[in-house]
Amino acid sequence: MSTSPLVSAIAKRLRAAGYSDVATPFRVASVSFDFTRVMRGRDGRAHDLVIVIDTATGEMGDTDSVQVRRRIETLSRALDVVGSRLVLTVVLAGASTANDIEALSETCRVLVVEPIGVGLDGVPKDKLARQQLDDRIRLLLPLEIPPRDEGLDVEPAADEALKTKLPNTIDKNFLQVLLNSSRHGEDAVEREMRRVFDDRMKIEDVS
Amino acid sequence: MTYGHLHSIDLENFRSIRGHVHAPLDAKVVLVHGENGAGKTSLLSAIELALTGQIDALRRADPNYEMQLLHKRKTNGYAEINVSLDHDLARYRADLTEQTISFEERLPVELTEFFVERAYLPQSLLGQLLQIYQEAGSDVDSPLARFVSNLLGLDRLDALEIGLSPLQDLRNVRRVINRWSIVENEISRLKTIIQDQFRTKEPIAEDLAAKRSNLVAIYAALEVEHDEKLPEEAAPTPDEIRIEDENRLAKVTDELRLLASIRRDISDSLDSDTHDIEVKLAEHVENTEEALRIWREAHEDIASDVRLRVEAIFPNVDFATDLVAFRNEAKRLLSAEQNQLNNRVQRARQEAKQLTDAREQLEVANAQLRTIDKEVSAIASNAGALSTIFAEISNFIVDDNCPVCGRDYAELEEGSLREHVHNRALALSSSAERLILLGRSRNDHKDSIDRLVQTIDGLESSQVHMEVLARMDRRAGAITLTLRLLEEVGPRLEDGQQLIEANVAAQRALANVRLRSSRRLAIRENLNDLARSAEISYEGQSDTIEALASRIELTLTKTRDHTSKRVRSWAEARGIIHDIRNSKERISVIDSTIAEYEFQLKDYESALQRGKNLRTEGRRIRNAVDEVRSAIIRREFNDRLNKLWRDLFLRLAPSEEFVPAFRIPQSETRRLQPKLYTPHRDLGDEGAGGTPGAMLSAGNLNTAALTLFVALHLSVSVQLPWLILDDPVQSMDDIHIAHFSSLLRTLSKEHARQVIIAVHDRQLFEYLRLELSPAFADDSLITLELTRSSIRDTQCISNRYSFQEETALRIA
C-alpha cells in the first residue's frame, strides 16, 4: 500500500465523493490485477473504476510508463472480454509526459494530478491545493451547482421579467403581440407594432 | 405541472425523414446515431417543432422555413411527441401539409423559451458558439454577444428595442405607421372643413342678427312687447296687435267710404253757387275774423289805451264806440282844449314875469335913493369957507414945513406941501357942486319908485296861483300826448273799424246763407256722428260741412295712412320672420354638419389619442426592455455562472491552465457587451490570459462553448429536465470525448436530466453507449439508429438497455 501523500489525498477526496476502495489484487476474466489504489463509484457512478497510479514513488511498476500502459491495456481488454460496462479512469498522480498521457488516453480516460501542496497525512495544505486537487479530478466528483443568490430562486425569462417590470396598467395585448413577434426579430416587432397601431387607430364604424 | 421524460416520438415525412418513424424516448439517456443526412437533426428538430411550434434555428436561416418542413414530394406529414407530465402523457403534435402547419397544443410560452434557450443545443447554435472565439470583439454585434443574447432571450429584447425604436421620434412614427399620418391628415382636413363651415355660418349669423335688429326696430316702432334676443319668438301678442291694426284699417276704410257717400250727399243737396257762396262767405268770415284777430292782437291794447286816456281827459263826454267817430270827436275836443289852455298859461306866465321885473326895478330904485341920501349926508356944509382959508394959507407955505404945525411934510415923501394944500382947497370946492347934483337925482328916483309900486299892485291882483298853473300844465301835457297818440293810432283805428265792419258784414252774410239750408244741417249731423265715431274733435261751428268733411277726411286719411303703414310693417315683420327662420334653418343645417364633422373629428382624435397612448406604452415597454436586459445581464453574468462554467470546463479539459470566464459587468449594462477572458486555473485573475480564442486550443474552445451552454442550462432552476444535444462533439479529440461522456453521465445520473444526444461518429456512439449504459437498477438507456437510402423509407432501430449487475470485477 503506497503511502504517497498525493495518492492518499486523491483517495480521501474520492472517498468523500462516494467512491470506495476496491481491494487489490482483483481478478477480471481470471486475470489478476494489482494497482497502487483502485476505487469504484456507486449509484450513477457505479461503472466508474478509478485506478490511481503513483508515477513518482509507486510500486508495481507505477513509475514505468510502459508497464503502466501495458497493465491498463490488459485490464481494459479483460473488461471488454467479459462484456463489462465498467469505465476505466486512470489518475496519474505525479508528473507524466504528454506522450504517455496520450498513449493511455486511447484506452481509457486519463486524469493527471501533478504534485500539489499536500501534507504527509494526505490533506491538502491550503485552499489553493484543495482546489487544485479538485480541479484535476473534477470529472470524478459530483457536479455541485452553486446555490443561487438570495431572491433569485426563480429567474424569469426575459419576457416574464419584462412583464413584471412593467406596471400592471400596461396594454397587455400589445405587450404580448410584441413579445411574440420579438422571437422573429426586430423587423417582425416593427411589423407587428405597425399592425397593432393600424388596428388600434382604426376609426370606429360611425353607423 | 412537472414535466418528466420525453416519452416517445412519431414522425412522418418530416424533413429528411421519409415515411413513418417511431422512436421511444423514455430513458434517462437517449443516444441517436446515424450517418450525416440520416435524419438525426430532423428527429431532434421535430421535438422542438411539436413542443414549441417552431424551429428557432431554421427560422433564423429562413423565415419561410415552415414550407420546407414537409419531406420532398410528400403531401402531408406530422411530428408527434409524448411527454410524461404528472404521471400522465401529454401529446404535442404538428401536422404538415404542403401549405400549412397546424398544432394541437404547444408548450406554454415560458417553457418554450426555456426549451429553446437552455434545453436544446442545435448544431447551428454550437457553430455559433465556436465562432465566438474566433472573433475577439466584444461589441453588441460580436458573435459572443449574439450567442449570449440568443441564449438569454436578449435578442428578443434587442428586437423589441430596435423594433420599437421608431416610436421615439414622431417623424419616424409617421413614417412607419401609415395610419398615424392618415389619421393626422384626416384630423387636419376635418378641422379645415369645420373651420370652413364656421366661416360659411358667420355671414348668415350676422345677417340673422341684422334681421333680428330690424325686427326689433319694427316691433319697437309698432310698440310691441318683444324679446330683444329672439324677437321672432314674440307671438302671440304681436299677432293680437296686428289683427287689431288690420281691423282698424278695415274700419277706417269703411269710414272713409261712408264719408265719401256723405260727400256725395253734400254735393247732391246743394247747388254749387250757394255752396260756393257759403264756402266763400265762411272763408271770408274766417278771413275777417282772422284779420280782426290779428289786428286785435296787434292794436287792441294801444287803442283802448288811447280811449282810456281820452275818457280820462273828458270824463263827462260820452264817446262813440265807432272807432273813427271816437277819433274825430276826441281830436276836435283835444285840440280846442289844448289851445285854450295854451293861451291861459302863456298870459299867466307873462304877468308873472312882469311882476318879477317890476319888483326888481323897485328894489334897485330904492337902493339908489338910499345911496344918494347917504352921499348927501356925507358932504359937509362948511366946505366953501374952509376952501377959502386953505387958499390963504397956501400963500404962507414956502417949503415943506407946515406953517400950521411945523412938521416936515417931506418926511411923508408925498410930494410937496404946497401942492397938497392946494389939492385940498380944490377938493373942498368940488363937494359943494356935487351936493346940488345929488339933489336933482334924488327926485328922479322918487318918481320911478312910485310908478313901480303902482304897477306891482296891479300885477299882484291878477296873478294866477302856481298850483293852478301846474295843473293846467299837466293837462296840457296829457292832451298833447293823447293827441299825438291819437294821431299815431288814427290810421290803425280806421283799419280796425274797417275790419270790424267787414267781419260783421261777413258774419251777417254767412248767417243769411246758412239759414237758407236746413238739409245741410242734417248732413252736418251725419258728419258729426262720423266724427264722433272716428273720435275726431269737431269744435268750431264755423266749419262748413265741406270743411268738416275735409277735416274728417284728413283725420281718417291720416289714421288710415298710419294704420296701413303699421299693417305694412307687420307684413314686413312677417317677411323678416320668414327670413329669420330660413337663416336659422340654414344655420342649423351648418351646425349639424359641423357637429357631424366634429363627431368624426372626435373619432379621429380619439384614434390619434389611442395611437399616442399606444406609443406611450410602446416607449414604456422599450424603456423597460433596457432595464430588464440590464437586470438579466447582471443576473446571469455573475460569479455563479463563472464558477459553474469553470467546473464544467475543467471536467472536460482538466489539464487546461486557462479557463474561460465572463468578466462580471460592474456598471449598469444596457446592451450586452460580454467580455470573455481566461483567468488562470490556479492563480485566478492574477495570472489571467487574453481572450479564449487566443489562449485555448480549438478543442478546448469547443469545450468552452459546450460547457457554457450546459452552465447556462444549469444556472437556472430546471423547468424542463431535458438536455438535447445535436452532435456537439464534432471537433473534439478523444480525451475530450471521454470527459464529455462522463459529464453527460453526471448530468443524467446525478442531476436527473434526460439527455438526448445525436452523434454521427460510430466509434463515439459505441463509446457513449458504454459510458452511459445503466449504472443502477432504475437507470435506462435507449439507442436509436437512423438509416435511410434513396429507395426506401427512413428506418429507426431502437435498443433499450437496462441495468445489469456488474460482475466482471472479482476480488482475487
Of A109, A158, A187, the CB nearest to B632: A158
From B804's Cα to the closest Cα of chain A, the distance in A is 9
Bridge-based pairing of strands B754-759 and B722-726 is: parallel
Cα–chain center distance at A8: 22
If you measure CA to CA, which chain B residue comes closest to A202? B607
Nearest-10 crossing angle of helices B545-636, B154-164: 150
DSSP output for B627-650: HHHHHHHHHHSSHHHHHHHHHHHH
Q: How confident is the model at residue B662 (pLDDT cuts 50, 70, 90)?
A: confident
3-state secondary structure B84-124: EECCEEEEEEEEEECCCEEECCCCCHHHHHHHHHHHEECHH
What's the rounded mean pLDDT across residues B234-248? 76
Tell me which residue of B99, B211, B140 sits closest to B672, measured CA to CA. B140
Q: Chain A residues with CB inside 8 Å of B743's CB?
A: 139, 143
Mutate to test the interface with A, among B55, B156, B647, B763 (most CBs of A within 10 A): B156
List the grid coordinates of B112: 418554450
CB contact under 8 A, A87 and B625: no
What's the rounded mean pLDDT across residues A141-165? 72
Does A147 map to a domain?
no
CB contact under 8 A, B682 and A131: yes
- The percentage of residues in chain B with a pLDDT greater than 90, rounded to a whole number, is 11
Residue B7, pLDDT score: 93
Mean pLDDT of chain A: 84
One domain, residues A127 and A34: yes
Of B110, B604, B745, the CB nearest to A203: B604
From B690's Cα to the closest Cα of chain A, the distance in A is 21
Answer yes or no: is pLDDT of B36 > 70: yes
Tell me which residue of B206, B184, B188, B208 sits closest to B196, measured CA to CA. B188
Nearest-10 crossing angle of helices B545-636, B272-313: 100
As a whole number of angstroms, the distance between CA B272 and CA B276 comes to 6
Q: Chain B residues with CB inside 8 Å of A167's CB?
A: 620
As a whole number of angstroms, the distance between CA A166 and CA A175 comes to 10
Which helix (H) or strand (E) segment is B56 a member of? helix B56-61
Residue A206, pLDDT score: 47
Domain B1-107+773-812 has CATH 3.40.50.300: yes
Q: Chain B residues with CB inside 8 Å of A204's CB?
A: 603
CATH of the domain at A82: 3.40.1350.10
Tell me which residue of B719, B737, B718, B735 sits closest to B727, measured CA to CA. B737
**pLDDT: is B786 or B639 the higher one?**
B786
One domain, residues A23 and A80: yes
Of B110, B628, B749, the CB nearest to A165: B628
Assess whether the previous peptide bond of A156 is cis (omega < 30° from 0).
no
CB contact under 8 A, A190 and B176: yes
The residues near B283 (Cβ < 8 Å, ≥ 6 apart) are none
Range list of H helices, chain A: 5-16, 65-81, 98-105, 127-136, 158-165, 172-182, 186-200
| pLDDT tens track for B290-327 | 888 888 887 778 878 888 888 887 877 777 777 788 88
As a whole number of angstroms, the distance between CA B474 and CA B458 comes to 28
Picking from A105, A140, A175, the residue at the C-terminal end of a domain is: A140
Q: Chain A residues with CB inside 8 Å of B614's CB?
A: 171, 174, 196-197, 200-201
One domain, residues A11 and A46: yes
Most confident by average pLDDT, B221-230, B376-385, B699-708: B699-708
CB contact under 8 A, B113 and A190: no
Answer yes or no: is pLDDT of B25 > 80: yes
Of B611, B738, B779, the CB nearest to A197: B611
Does A172 map to a domain?
yes
List the grid coordinates of B704: 468552452
Tell me which residue of A196, A194, A185 sits closest to B159, measured CA to CA. A185
A20 DSSP β-pair partners: A40
Tell me which residue of B10, B24, B19, B9 sits closest to B784, measured CA to CA. B24
Tell me which residue of B297, B95, B147, B18 sits closest to B708, measured CA to CA. B147
Task: Give the count of domains, chain A.
Answer: 2
Query: What is residue B225's three-state secondary structure?
Result: coil
Task: Read off the DSSP letter of residue B673.
Answer: -
If you measure CA to CA, which chain A residue comes closest to B750? A44
Mean pLDDT of chain B: 82
Cα Rg of chain B, angstroms: 81
From A47's Cα to the closest Cα of chain B, the distance in A is 6
One domain, residues A26 and A122: yes
Does A146 map to a domain?
no
CB contact under 8 A, A198 and B178: yes
Which residue ranges make up each domain of chain B?
Answer: 1-107+773-812, 193-270+517-615, 301-387+439-501
Lowest mean pLDDT among B56-60, B104-108, B721-725: B56-60
Which helix (H) or strand (E) segment is B285 a member of? helix B272-313
What's the rounded mean pLDDT across residues B754-761? 91
Residue B180 CB burial class (10 angstroms; 0-12, 13-18, ≥19): buried
If you measure CA to CA, which chain A residue comes closest to B802? A85
Tell me which residue of B580, B583, B559, B666 sits closest to B248, measured CA to CA. B559
One domain, residues A121 and A31: yes
Picking from A114, A140, A166, the residue at the C-terminal end of a domain is: A140
A98 φ/ψ angles, rounded to the nearest 5 degrees: -65, -35
Q: How confident is the model at residue B381 (pLDDT cuts 50, 70, 90)?
A: low
Work out whether the CA dihedral B676, B679, B685, B687 comes out positive or negative.
negative
Q: Chain B residues with CB inside 8 Å of A200's CB?
A: 607, 610-611, 614
Residue A207, pLDDT score: 41
Q: Strands across the sheet with B684-689, in order?
A: B661-662, B676-680, B684-689
As a whole number of angstroms, the distance between CA B376 and CA B370 comes to 10
As a whole number of angstroms, the distance between CA A2 and CA A58 comes to 7
Most confident by average pLDDT, A130-134, B110-114, B282-286: A130-134
Assess whether the previous peptide bond of A115 is cis (omega < 30° from 0).
no
Range of the domain at A11: 5-140
One domain, residues A175 and A123: no
* Residue with cell string 258728419: B527
CB contact under 8 A, A79 and B808: yes
CB contact under 8 A, A155 and B156: no
From A96's Cα to the closest Cα of chain B, the distance in A is 12
ipTM over 0.85: no
Residue B705, pLDDT score: 82
One domain, residues A111 and A196: no
One domain, residues A162 and A108: no
One domain, residues A127 and A187: no
| pLDDT tens track for B409-460 | 888 877 788 888 888 777 777 776 777 777 777 887 888 888 888 888 888 8
Task: Read off the DSSP letter of residue B747.
Answer: I
Residue B666, pLDDT score: 63
One domain, residues A35 and A64: yes
| pLDDT tens track for B574-623 | 888 888 889 899 999 999 999 999 888 888 888 899 889 889 988 888 88
